[in-house]
Every structure is written in C-alpha cells, then in structure tokens.
C-alpha cells in the first residue's frame, strides 16, 4: 500500500457527516443543503441534445488528446474571454474529465518527490491530497480578512519558494470568493521564474461574477500582458460544472505552457482518462454559447441580493467578489453548523474542514461555507431560518 495514503485526512463531507451523526433536524422543516458546491440550476437543453445526438460515437475509443474541434473551440473561448492574441489548440490545450481529476493528476506529473507544493489555506482538498500522493510536502498560505482573503504570499519563507515545484492558485477562491488581480498574478509569475516552479491556476469559478463589465482576470491573461505567449510555467484549469451547470458531464480543460502539457499528455495517456467522444461534442456546444452563462449569473445575482438583504445585521458576512459561496464569520464554525442543523434543518460546512492549522491558527475555524446552489425560494427560506437562528 502506498504509505502516502496514510497522510490523507477524511474528506470534509465525511467530517461533516460525523459532526451531524445522531442529530435530527426538525421534521416539520424541509432540509436545505448549503454545504456542497454542486450547481442545481437546470443544465442547458441543447447540451443534452448534443450528447444524445452523438451517442453513436461510443463505438470508438477516444483519444486522450481529444478531438481537434473541441481543442479549437476551447482555444477560441480562451482567446475571447481573456484577451489572448494567440493560443495553439494543438499543443497548449488538453480536454480533461473535470478539473478535479486534472488538478490531482497534474501534481503527479510535474512534482518531484521531496519538493514543496504551495497552496492557499483554506483550500480545495484535492490540492493537499495531490501533493501528498506525489511525495511532496504541502505548504499552506493563510487567507484572512486582513489580506482580503487572498493568500498571504508575503508570509511564505524563501526556503519554501526555493523548494517549490508547484503553486496551486484558486481564483475566484473556494471558499472565500476572493480574486487575484493581474498585478498579483504577474508578481507570482516573476516568483515562478526566479525559483523555477509551475503555477496551476484553478479558475473553475471564473464565470460566476456579478459585474458583466468586469470579469475576473486569469493567469494566461497576465501572461499575455507580459508578452509571454508561450505561457511558460503557467497552466490554467477550467470546467463546465459551474459555468454551465453540468457537474455530471465531467468536462473541463487545461491550457497553457505547451512543454508542460506535452509531458502531462504523456502521463494522461498512461493514466487512461480520455474524455468520451459524445461528451466532447456536448462540450463544444457548451463552450460556444454564452447566453446560458449570462442567465446563470443573473440567477446567482438574484440569490445573493435576496439572501444578503435578509442576513443584513444578523451575521458577519459580505458579498464575495465572485463564485457562489458565502463565507460568514460565526465564532465557532463546528458549533454553528451543528446547531443550525439541529434547530433549523440547514446544512452548512464548517470552515475548519477546508483548512489546516498553520502557525497555531486554522484560518477557517471561525467561519462556515454556504453554497447558494439551491433554488431562489430555498435560499430565501434558508436565509430567514438562519436569521431566526442567529437571533
């Protein structure tokens, strides 16, 4: 058995199940789940139709590299979305089965045993697991209210930068919704050059924002502004799960440094994780359409506006810069989550389960994560119950 498996902690939802064990919410109140970041909006019908129309292609083995039309569609979308002047669909794009598997697999391909993997804290748990199973040591960079919930990169000692093989970013952040701007990203690119590490930017929430005229920046966009059109040391991860409400399609992509992706493709060829061809054609349809994405954002705007109006004055919470999460400060996240479920039949996730203690502090301990993925009416009902609970 791989000894590194012993370093993995229980997944946050296993910890949550243990926290709720033996507790029953009020039977007269319907359960409302705000704990899991699983989009519940209706998936686009045209994507489903495209999937069905191409089911005959299940008769062929898919190529790990994906079909040319999908890679070309992705390259076109990236160039339009992030103002890139050039991106080679053949060498700088690889379709993947959702960002989760790709974020994990990427570390196995680019990380040397004994090195360091830097990541935000709190964080998406795949980053830590990927580091451990690659034989590396995670180094957590705390995100706090003092830094606007961005990782405190200034706190990273030079020894950690020097031993770093991989830096995971998440922008917009999970669970905080904080954004790294172009200046932040350019400074990190300079550090990657200085210390010779790869940046993996998880941008799966990039299309969930509030100002249509000001979408979040991306790592490749920062490269382009620097004239760095080979995207050296930089790779981004995008998904249709949040953007298009298609978590079950398991479709995303990685894009960036062609030399890194050439080696990643070799790894994936052995890994055996090619995307089914019908899924690729359905993905083309999704990436080519922006109208359903704008409608999706509008649904989230309505939910955030309604929920925050109800919670105003009773909970220490602010509207995030992007994503579909609220990150309220509640004192003791575990106690809040347990008692909210017991009294109001609402499930939220303690922030401590998404973070690790660093320098004597767990930066998520006083928070809970609320995912506004339920219907508008359910989110409003949940906010009213939370207000009652807080009072």
Q: Is 303 within a domain?
A: yes
The Cα 117–Cα 4 span in angstroms is 15
Last residue of one domain, picked from the residues 289, 312, 345: 289
- Tell me: do 282 and 302 sit in the same domain: no
Q: How many domains does the chain have?
A: 2
- Tell me: do 105 and 205 sit in the same domain: yes
- Tell me: do 229 and 314 sit in the same domain: no
- Tell me: do 384 and 273 sit in the same domain: no
Q: Is 325 within a domain?
A: yes
Last residue of one domain, picked from the residues 272, 289, 306: 289
- Tell me: do 135 and 233 sit in the same domain: yes
* Global confidence as pTM: 0.97
Q: Is 50 within a domain?
A: no
CB 186, CB 223: distance < 8 Å: no
3-state secondary structure of 390: helix
pLDDT value at residue 49: 98
CA distances from residue 303 to 325, 374, 390 in whole angstroms, order as listed:
11, 9, 20
Q: Is 49 within a domain?
A: no
Residue 208, both tokens: 């969930």
Domain range enclosing 199? 56-289
3-state secondary structure of 213: coil
CATH number of the domain bearing residue 386:
3.90.1150.10
pLDDT value at residue 391: 87
Question: How many CB atoms within 10 Å of residue 270?
Answer: 8
Cα-to-chain-centroid distance, residue 200: 12
**Please, what is the angle between helix 277-287 and helix 68-82, to 10°?**
30
- Tell me: do 357 and 312 sit in the same domain: yes
pLDDT value at residue 19: 97
Peptide bond preceding 122 in cis form (omega within 30 of 0):
yes
- Tell me: do 157 and 171 sit in the same domain: yes
Residue that the structure tokens 């320098």 belong to:
359
Q: Is 313 within a domain?
A: yes
Last residue of one domain, picked from the residues 230, 257, 289: 289
> Shortest CA distance to 10 belongs to which of 115, 175, 128, 118?
128
- Tell me: do 215 and 80 sit in the same domain: yes
Diameter of the chain measured on Cα atoms: 60
Residues in CB range of 190: below 8 A, 6 or more apart = none
Q: Is 110 within a domain?
A: yes
Exposure of 306 in the CB half-sphere (CA atoms within 13 A): 17
- Tell me: do 243 and 302 sit in the same domain: no
Q: H-helix or E-strand containing 340?
A: helix 333-344
- Tell me: do 96 and 241 sit in the same domain: yes
CATH number of the domain bearing residue 91:
3.40.640.10
> Shortest CA distance to 233 belongs to which of 243, 245, 248, 223?
223
Q: Is 324 within a domain?
A: yes
3-state secondary structure of 71: helix
Q: Is 76 within a domain?
A: yes
> Shortest CA distance to 179 belongs to which of 124, 145, 153, 217?
217
CB 86, CB 78: distance < 8 Å: no
Rounded to the nearest 10°, the torsion over CA 19, 22, 26, 32 is: 40
pLDDT value at residue 359: 86
- Tell me: do 361 and 380 sit in the same domain: yes
pLDDT value at residue 273: 92
CB 257, CB 228: distance < 8 Å: no
10-residue stretch averages of pLDDT, the chain, 391 residues long: 92 96 96 96 97 95 97 98 98 97 98 98 97 98 97 97 98 98 98 98 98 97 98 98 97 98 97 96 98 98 98 96 98 98 98 95 97 97 98 87
CB 131, CB 109: distance < 8 Å: no
- Tell me: do 99 and 191 sit in the same domain: yes
């Amino acid at each position: 058995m791989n000894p590194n498996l012993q370093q993995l902690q229980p997944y946050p939802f296993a910890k949550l199940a243990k926290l709720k064990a033996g507790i029953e919410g009020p039977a007269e109140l319907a359960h409302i789940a705000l704990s899991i970041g699983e989009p519940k909006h209706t998936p686009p019908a045209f994507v489903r139709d495209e999937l069905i129309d191409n089911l005959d292609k299940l008769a062929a083995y898919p190529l790990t590299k994906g079909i040319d039309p999908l890679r070309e569609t992705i390259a076109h979308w990236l160039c339009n979305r992030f103002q890139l002047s050039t991106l080679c669909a053949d060498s700088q794009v690889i379709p993947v089965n959702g960002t989760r598997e790709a974020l994990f697999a990427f570390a196995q391909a680019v990380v040397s045993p004994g090195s360091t993997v830097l990541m935000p804290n709190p964080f998406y748990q795949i980053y830590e697991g990927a580091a451990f199973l690659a034989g590396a040591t995670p180094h957590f960079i705390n995100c706090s209210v003092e830094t606007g919930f961005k990782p405190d990169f200034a706190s990273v000692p030079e020894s950690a930068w020097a031993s770093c093989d991989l830096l995971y970013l998440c922008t917009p952040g999970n669970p905080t919704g904080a954004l790294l701007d172009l200046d932040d990203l350019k400074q990190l690119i300079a550090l990657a050059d200085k210390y010779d590490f790869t940046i993996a930017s998880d941008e799966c929430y990039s299309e969930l924002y509030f100002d249509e005229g000001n979408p979040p920046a991306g790592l490749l966009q920062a490269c382009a502004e620097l004239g760095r059109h080979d995207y050296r040391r930089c790779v981004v991860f995008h998904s249709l799960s949040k953007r298009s409400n298609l978590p079950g399609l398991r479709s995303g992509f990685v894009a960036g440094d062609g030399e890194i992706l050439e080696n990643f493709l070799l790894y994936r060829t052995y890994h055996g994780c090619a995307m089914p061809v019908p899924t690729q054609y359905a993905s083309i349809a999704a990436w080519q359409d922006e109208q359903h994405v704008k409608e999706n954002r509008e649904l989230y705007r309505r939910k955030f506006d309604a929920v925050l109006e109800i919670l105003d004055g009773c909970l220490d919470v602010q509207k995030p810069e992007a994503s579909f999460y609220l990150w309220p400060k509640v004192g003791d996240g575990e106690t809040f989550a347990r008692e909210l479920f017991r009294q109001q039949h609402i499930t939220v996730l303690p922030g401590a389960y998404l973070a690790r203690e660093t320098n004597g502090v767990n930066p998520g301990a006083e928070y809970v994560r609320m995912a506004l993925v339920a219907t508008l009416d359910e989110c409003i009902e949940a906010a009213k119950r939370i207000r009652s609970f807080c009072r």
